Structure 1
Amino acid sequence: MSKTRTFIAIGPSLDIVSQAERALLRLRRLADNVKWVQRDNLHWTLHFLGEIDDQELYDVCRAAERAAADLEPFSLEAKGVGAFPSPARPRTLWIGAGEGAERMEKLHLALEEQLQPLGFRGERRRFVPHLTLGRAGRSLRPAETSALSSELAKLTDFAAGNQVVDEITIFASRLRREGAEYAAVAHVHLAG
């Protein structure tokens, strides 16, 4: 039985994508050793599920429907550029969430509650809504780390736009030499 690498996410608005590209332009010139996310692959991850088969995919879609049934659409502000684990050690560069972040956390928890009976474990780390811009891992040179840290300090209040969150998407992900390729498998509307 074939398996599909799968995750649940929210697609960003065109306004947020445009602003993310502005942030990327400022950061990209500072570090060569970062794998930057392509415009079409930007997303707000809610849950990474890993490799699942067709029956599990069906069950995940039903779980997502149950999670979304009582939740109303909401406004989400994309604000601030930062890094995990910290700006001083930038391994993953991201745009954060301002207003609406708590609603995003509620959506994440509702999904987690519905996915756990299916055998999907929750994250050990606290969920922090973010839109990944790039991943450096441990490959940054000291000069790149310093330059990125300095620029991140200037971008803590970066206004990256707003969007209405009214659906979640289950994505299939295929890893390719050129980078990941995502395809929407199902859309689930917030119905509350």
Structure 2
Amino acid sequence: MRSFVALWPSPEVVETLDRAVRHVRRRVPEAKWTRREEWHLTLLFLGEVDGALMPGLLEALDHVLDGYPPLDLSLDGWGVFPLSAPRASVVWAGVTGEHLIGLVDGLREAARSAGVRVESRPFVPHLTLARARPPLVTERILRTLGPPPRAGWRSDRIDLVESRRVGESRYRAVRSWETSGR
């Protein structure tokens, strides 16, 4: 199963972000803009997980996430991948929040302890807004986006999500953990 651990912005933040990028979608039609229903903050990308490892992975994630406190998060500017490149293949809205790095470190360790291979690249918290092939001129897309919106939310759950390539809904929550505090 192709999967990742994620949390979702509040409906109010989605609406604020959607208003901020609505005009850009028309002005930059060469980008493939993600649907607002798909905007999420990936905490841990797992990729293809062998079904035999799934019970151990769920147990390890339970250990980290059961009773995890809510996270206070906020949008934190625009960005692109690759970082600091003249051309961008991914455009995103940054996210900031206290305890994010600690949570991600805990999730990475949990997955590794269950035998799941985890990427070691630095965590850049973001909501993916668009992808582009060929890449866009970074300066142009960031200028077109204009000033980033300011909005925040409190997380209410964290999901293990299955990513499917077909069907009406691309993402399906396999397991959810309510953020409630320890």
Query: The TM-score by the shorter chain falls in which range?
Result: 0.7 to 0.9
Matched residues, number: 180
State the TM-score, normalizing by the size of structure 1.
0.81
Distance in 2 (CA, whole Å) between partners of 1:164 and 1:103 is 13
Distance in 2 (CA, whole Å) between partners of 1:23 and 1:53 is 39
Q: Which residue in the other structure is 1:96 paired with? A: 94
Runs of 4+ in 1 over 6 A off after TM superposition: none
Q: Alignment partner for residue 56 of structure 2, among 59, 71, 84?
A: 59
Distance in 2 (CA, whole Å) between partners of 1:79 and 1:73 is 18
State the TM-score, normalizing by the size of structure 2.
0.85
Deviation at 1:25, TM superposition (A): 1.1
The one-letter code sitting in structure 1 at the alignment partner of 2:87 is: R
Q: Alignment partner for residue 150 of structure 1, among 143, 147, 153?
A: 143
Q: Which residue in the other structure is 1:120 paired with? A: 116
Q: Alignment partner for residue 32 of structure 1, among 29, 33, 55?
A: 29
Consecutive unaligned residues in structure 1, runs of 5 or more: none
Alignment check: 8 A CA contact 1:92 1:135 kept: yes
Q: Which residue in the other structure is 1:45 paired with? A: 42
Distance in 1 (CA, whole Å) between partners of 2:106 and 2:6 is 13
Alignment check: 8 A CA contact 1:34 1:134 kept: yes
Q: CA RMSD in A?
A: 2.4
Q: Structure 1's 28 and 179: CA in aligned 2 closer, same or farther, altered over 3 A?
A: farther
SS of residue matched to 2:165: strand
Q: Which residue in the other structure is 2:171 paired with? A: 182
Distance in 1 (CA, whole Å) between partners of 2:24 and 2:88 is 12
Consecutive unaligned residues in structure 2, runs of 5 or more: none
